[in-house]
Amino acid sequence: MKRRTFISLMGVMAAAGVLGLTGCSSKDTASSTAGPAPLNKLDSIQKSGKLVVALEGAWQPWSYHDSSDTLVGYDVEVSRAIAEKLGVEPEYVESDWDSLFAGLDAGRYDMVCNGVEVTEERAKTYAFTTPYGYIHTALAVRKDNTDITNFEDLKGKTTANSLASTYMELAESYGATVQGIDTLEETIQLLTAGRIDATLNADVSFYDYLNVHPDADFKLVAQTAEASHVAIPVLKSEDTAYLDALNTAIEELRADGTLKTLSEKYFGQDISSEN
């Protein structure tokens, strides 16, 4: 009886030991399978060492290819300076205007730096940085056109602009029929050929074009009274570290005069300040 009792007791203790080992094993397994906390957007960019920037690459002087086919422009240099502030290298992806935001939505780009104007509608979907540029929308017509002298005269007329751009939306709001065109160069060609009645774009873009083509057959007849804010849209997130870092970079570039210098280089004037 004593021997049986001893054996039974050892069995219970062994079972308890097994259970204890099993409990430790489960805990250790859980600990070993739990990975590190996911990186936030800023950490991911800095870990990869690159900032993927989307732009058109065909909108002088914001982003375009010079005579040696090098990608240059205000947005190119601003985004490069921002990347340097973040401690990474910029990687540029060129695309048509209407696909820039689709790529941002899909996570293919870290930012769109393409003279994007802040609007209430866009702000519903994207978080915007502090502005790095202030521009007015100008209305251009052929030099011999006397029918259009202000935006109200666009009713029933034809214009050409990038699809989904603020210029297209503004023209349509005044009753114009808008033809979707990819580049400013193409719209001006249509305008001077008499195939459209007018076109809208940033005043500074028109000025730059006229500096390069002083004999171009068009004139500016009106512009918006209030300046539009040009900023960088990023995907909205509860984690604001990335947006905060971009804002800090832009403000530092404004404070040290970099934005002013780049503005004057590409536009002949300072567009980095609202005043």
Give the residue-averaged pLDDT of 40-59.
96
pLDDT of residue 1: 44
Q: Give the pLDDT confidence of 94-148 residue by residue, as tens digits.
A: 999 889 999 999 999 999 999 999 999 999 999 999 999 999 999 999 999 999 9
**Architecture per CATH, 137-223:** 3-Layer(aba) Sandwich (3.40)
Average pLDDT over the chain reads 88
Omega within 30 of 0 (cis) for the link into 214: no
Q: How far, in Å, CA of 65 to CA of 63, rounded?
A: 7
Q: Give the pLDDT confidence of 161-184 residue by residue, as tens digits.
A: 888 789 999 999 999 999 999 888
Task: For residue 36, name the pLDDT band (cuts at 50, 70, 90).
Answer: low
Q: Could you tell me where in the chain the CATH 3.40.190.10 domains are found?
A: 41-134+229-267, 137-223
Of all residues in the chain, what percent carry a pLDDT higher than 90? Answer: 77
Report which residue type is found at 253: L
Question: Residue 33: exposed, middle, or buried by beta-carbon count in 10 A (0-12, 13-18, 19+)?
Answer: exposed
The CATH fold assigned to 41-134+229-267 is D-Maltodextrin-Binding Protein; domain 2 (3.40.190)
Task: For residue 37, name the pLDDT band (cuts at 50, 70, 90).
Answer: low
Of all residues in the chain, what percent carry a pLDDT higher than 70? Answer: 86
pLDDT of residue 238: 87
